[in-house]
Structure 1
């Protein structure tokens, strides 16, 4: 009986071990592929220079990776505090909060970087769907898919109200429209394109589908708050 009862748990343990391992291998492969561009930005970033680090793609990616251990430390601290307060699930909520910020802010920073002539070049808008998609290329499409991917992945894990595909779609579309509008209003010498909105939103929805098994689908307000201490008798 014990042998049969343990069989269903074995595949689950294997999947839990395999998925993080594949994620680590994928991250290591990506870092190996971009090791030279990141190394070129390292001296300026480590010296704290704005130009050549925070205003370049390579520099922002490098600093995002450098800050990853700190982000994991924040996850641990938040989870430890929640566990002491009796909040469940402590690790999932903490990871979702930190991942939401750490995975979204750098990409939003990249989208708001000015072009060659900010403030002087006329604001440009492209409202014809799929016209700019052809000129993006594979890297451009992949980058646009990642802009709101962390938002789509972690937001349903943290907020019950966002645990549905239509709501994630609306959130992604709204955030992308705000970004494109800001590019236009600030005259950053970038094209505010409807295709960017479509691809950004698709990235958020695909990432949300990837995290669907961990969505916070049941509201439990009491679990998000510290347990009340009973008043002393008398």
Structure 2
């Protein structure tokens, strides 16, 4: 996420959480109205991308003066700041960056048709690629580009994919157990 002023930073986390809920609603409605699971997941993915795009690019365009940007290429700098200062703004940035990409990682993992490891790797790689593209765009727009955002967004995609992969693996294991019992 971009470096937001303190008043604006408080908006990003609720918007990310609302985005996650919208993804679930989009997926549920798609499944409910018979469009199939995959179609519903694609709708959910587009919803994820729209929410991520609005928070990372759209929100900065409407809340920041142009040309106030910079770049942080020191991995862990903002993460350390959150941990050492205990201040609210760095923590919102840290948690918000992870939470923002959780639904993305989950949906990509669910769309990936291969095994557990490939699901997690695909979602993690695509999360890292998307985050890198966002940070590059922010830099080109005169905003702050931060390597920590890429790290945290990628962690969010990884955790979302990991959760989806575990749930799917447990479901497959339970289904296999039922087949053997029959």
Q: Same fold per TM (> 0.5)?
A: yes
- 1:146-185, aligned counterparts within 5 Å? 146-160=99-113, 163-185=118-140
Quote the offset at 1:67 in angstroms: 6.1
Q: 1:214 to 1:96 in 2, by over 3 A?
A: farther
Quote the offset at 1:141 in angstroms: 1.4
Post-superposition Cα deviations, 1:172-216, rounded to whole Å, max 9, x if no partner, equal 1111100000001112x3x2010000000011001101000337x
Quote the offset at 1:62 in angstroms: 9.6
Q: 1:61 to 1:132 in 2, by over 3 A?
A: closer
1:117 aligns with 2:65: yes
1:197 aligns with 2:142: no
Contact 1:153–1:208 (CA under 8 A) maintained in structure 2: yes
Unmatched tracts of structure 1, length 5 or more: 1-55, 82-89, 216-234
Q: 1:172 to 1:61 in 2, by over 3 A?
A: closer
Post-superposition Cα deviations, 1:39-85, rounded to whole Å, max 9, x if no partner, equal xxxxxxxxxxxxxxxxx6599569859967973434423xx14xxxx
Query: SS in structure 1 opposite 2:77?
Result: coil
Give the aligned CA root-mean-square deviation in angstroms.
3.1
Post-superposition Cα deviations, 1:23-45, rounded to whole Å, max 9, x if no partner, equal xxxxxxxxxxxxxxxxxxxxxxx
For 1:100, which of 16, 20, 45 is the aligned residue? 45
Q: 1:73 — aligned with what?
A: 29
Q: 2:160 — aligned with what?
A: 207
* TM-score (normalised: structure 2): 0.65
Rg (Cα) greater in structure: 1
Query: SS in structure 2 opposite 1:125?
Result: strand
* TM-score (normalised: structure 1): 0.52
Bigger relative contact order, structure 1 or 2, given CA contacts below 8 A and separation 6+? 2
